[in-house]
Structure 1
Amino acid sequence: MRLLILLFGLLLGLGIAQAQVRDFDRITESGILRVALYQNFPPYSYEQDGQPRGVDYELAKALAEGLGLKLDVMWAPPGEKLDDDLRDYIWRGRVTAQGQLADVMLRVPYDRDYAQMRNELGELVNELVVMFGPYQRERWQLAFDRRRLTEVPSIVALRQHPVGVEVESVPSFYLSSVQGGMLSQETRHYPTPKLAFAAMQGGEVDAVMALRGEVDWLVHEADDPQLALAENAYPDMGRQIWEIGMAVHETNRQLAYALEEQLENMILDGSLERLYARYGLRYEKPEQYQ
């Protein structure tokens, strides 16, 4: 039994040793920038015909090239919470990845309140993480089919019109509860926004609500003039607009500074907006660049 305990301790020690942060010098010496991107998350990061695609993938590639490095993608299946993802890819590592860490992770909310969040003991939840480099503003978006719904000036227009949403998403909770559950009977749940959108194309629902980037991309890919984007607000929803940025280990600020410099150039010269446009997405600059 003692031998087993010692062996377990040795293996655990080896796993921890592998989960080491590569500082900026080691990254440049290796010639590779290791970036964590969410897996199967179109239009941001996904694979098509075995090739990586998406605006986050192309941004990561451009940032790596700007630093004279090659991109190495770590596909990240999303955890239950963002805290889990930051732990698995930025500061502790995943057991299934032999403790390997990413140098940087994309599509992390750039939010001071979240960055300063504390647990029940008063400790910073993400004290080992630096969130930086906001590169876009995100919001919720509704698309609808003009053949069954003339316009959507407000959510009241959705009465008696089924709406497709991703299961256990913010739109799901919102539409199921807003104004005393006014739309709860009209809310239809699907495994992904893409399947909800397919249901709208098939006539099962009259509208779809998801992230603006997801909706923009799906409408762009459908190329159907009868599909429209609503411009309504979402009363009682709370935060409807937020910024998306990046994250590194708190000891790797030199990498963060270098990436921010590359990112700023891409935002100011319009190349990031053009990147988004190639996927049919509207691009909204972060507040500090407006």
Structure 2
Amino acid sequence: MSRLLLLCLLVLGLNTAQAQVRDFDTMVASGVLRVALYDDFAPYSFRQQGQPRGVDYELARQLAEGLGLELQVIWAPPGENLDADLRDYIWRGRLTQPGELADVMLRVPYDRDFAYKRNELGELVNELVVLFGPYQRERWQLAFDRRRLPALPSLAVLRQHPIGVEVDGVPSFYLSLFMQGMLRQQLRHYPSVAAAFAGLQGAEVDAVMAMRGEVDWLLQQAADPNLVLADNAYPEMGRQIWEIGMAVHESNRQLAYALEEQVDAMILDGSLQRLYARYGLRFEKPEQYQ
């Protein structure tokens, strides 16, 4: 056996030893629920002056308390795609940075097509993952400065106005292709949604497009009556509304049932809506609760 192969086996073996899926009884015995939350993703999960904040963090804390457990957050920098995130935090672990697997991950799109996606060999890509517990509907949103753009009834108005978007985000691709590229020259790309919004505040752009929750949060933080929400449609766009839920390892369905029961109660009694309102966010119930 070559030294390189032996080294690879040792590394893989070390990672396997450190990244074990815990069953429900083990979680209860440990007194801790490990929850993967996306890092630096305001208003959902982020740290402010060293303290965890965000609607997903608050939800995770309440879910852990409902099980009689303490919350342990595993801060998850987003990977290249959702498949990679689920692999790194739910069923395999990170090969380059071995560590603990999460018991559950929040802010995972609750999507049947994604759940049953297959690779080029016809194999299920995420067969080791269970998606469950939709707790919110998300959608795209435009905000604009009415000092420079009096109204935004349709995207055609933006032909003469610069638009801020996050680089490589869905709004960037959508707006660059809209009406054969009619708005492409007006796009201004920023490293983050927050940076694009700062561009709106600094008059670099007249409008910003991002996820509704991010836009709601940034508008609340700005507290500027001239920065307002648009009420336009998005022609030729694919999925404009999607549901957000949770993910566990396929062997942890008992945990999924217990968490889903709590989420169901929080939606029905209005406590989840009140949680969102504390962050200045609009809450839209998943379709099954409509």
The TM-score, its normalising length taken from structure 2, stands at 0.97
Contact 1:35–1:73 (8 Å) recurs in 2? yes
Q: Tell me how far apart the structure 2 counterparts of residues 240 and 13 of structure 1 sit (CA, whole Å).
A: 43
Quick check: 1:62 aligned with 2:59? Answer: no
Instruction: Map 1:203-282; keep pairs closer than 5 Å.
Output: 203-282=203-282
Q: Tell me how far apart the structure 2 counterparts of residues 256 and 34 of structure 1 sit (CA, whole Å).
A: 13
Q: Tell me how far apart the structure 2 counterparts of residues 207 and 67 of structure 1 sit (CA, whole Å).
A: 43
Who is 1:72 aligned against?
Answer: 72
- State the one-letter code of the partner of 1:103: D
* RMSD value, Cα: 1.2
Who is 2:101 aligned against?
Answer: 101
TM-aligned CA deviation for residue 148 of structure 1: 0.4
Structure 1 residues 224-255: Cα deviation after superposition (integer angstroms, max 9, x where no partner): 11111011110001110000000000000000
Contact 1:163–1:205 (8 Å) recurs in 2? yes
Who is 1:32 aligned against?
Answer: 32
- State the one-letter code of the partner of 1:283: F
Contact 2:12–2:95 (8 Å) recurs in 1? no
Kindly tell me: are residues 2 and 163 of structure 1, through their superposed partners in 2, closer, same or farther at Cα, counting changes over 3 Å?
Answer: closer
Who is 1:120 aligned against?
Answer: 120
Structure 1 residues 100-145: Cα deviation after superposition (integer angstroms, max 9, x where no partner): 2000000000000110100111100000000000000000000000
TM-aligned CA deviation for residue 152 of structure 1: 0.8
- State the one-letter code of the partner of 1:186: Q
Which sits farther off after the overlay, 150-159 or 7-16? 7-16
Q: Tell me how far apart the structure 1 counterparts of residues 183 and 146 of structure 2 sit (CA, whole Å).
A: 19
TM-aligned CA deviation for residue 194 of structure 1: 0.5
TM-aligned CA deviation for residue 59 of structure 1: 0.5
- State the one-letter code of the partner of 1:250: E
Who is 1:177 aligned against?
Answer: 177
- State the one-letter code of the partner of 2:125: V
Q: Tell me how far apart the structure 2 counterparts of residues 78 and 6 of structure 1 sit (CA, whole Å).
A: 31
Percent identical residues: 75
Who is 1:142 aligned against?
Answer: 142
Contact 2:45–2:57 (8 Å) recurs in 1? yes
TM-aligned CA deviation for residue 159 of structure 1: 1.3
- State the one-letter code of the partner of 2:183: L
- State the one-letter code of the partner of 1:209: M
Who is 1:196 aligned against?
Answer: 196
The DSSP-based 3-state class of the residue aligned with 2:180 is helix
TM-aligned CA deviation for residue 82 of structure 1: 0.4
- State the one-letter code of the partner of 1:88: D
Listed as ranges, the gaps of 5+ residues in structure 1 are: none
- State the one-letter code of the partner of 1:20: Q
- State the one-letter code of the partner of 1:141: Q
Contact 1:38–1:45 (8 Å) recurs in 2? yes
Structure 1 residues 140-180: Cα deviation after superposition (integer angstroms, max 9, x where no partner): 00000010001111101111010100000000011111001
Which sits farther off after the overlay, 59-68 or 94-103? 94-103
TM-aligned CA deviation for residue 3 of structure 1: 6.3
Who is 1:92 aligned against?
Answer: 92
Kindly tell me: are residues 189 and 3 of structure 1, through their superposed partners in 2, closer, same or farther at Cα, counting changes over 3 Å?
Answer: closer
Structure 1 residues 43-89: Cα deviation after superposition (integer angstroms, max 9, x where no partner): 00110000011110000001001111110000001011100000000
TM-aligned CA deviation for residue 8 of structure 1: 4.5
Q: Tell me how far apart the structure 1 counterparts of residues 283 and 38 of structure 2 sit (CA, whole Å).
A: 20
Quick check: 1:164 aligned with 2:175? Answer: no
TM-aligned CA deviation for residue 15 of structure 1: 1.9
Contact 1:16–1:99 (8 Å) recurs in 2? no
> Number of residue pairs matched?
290
Contact 1:138–1:212 (8 Å) recurs in 2? yes
Q: Tell me how far apart the structure 2 counterparts of residues 29 and 105 of structure 1 sit (CA, whole Å).
A: 20
Contact 1:92–1:99 (8 Å) recurs in 2? no
Kindly tell me: are residues 179 and 26 of structure 1, through their superposed partners in 2, closer, same or farther at Cα, counting changes over 3 Å?
Answer: same
Contact 1:141–1:229 (8 Å) recurs in 2? yes
Contact 1:94–1:100 (8 Å) recurs in 2? no
Q: Tell me how far apart the structure 1 counterparts of residues 12 and 176 of structure 2 sit (CA, whole Å).
A: 45
Contact 2:267–2:273 (8 Å) recurs in 1? yes
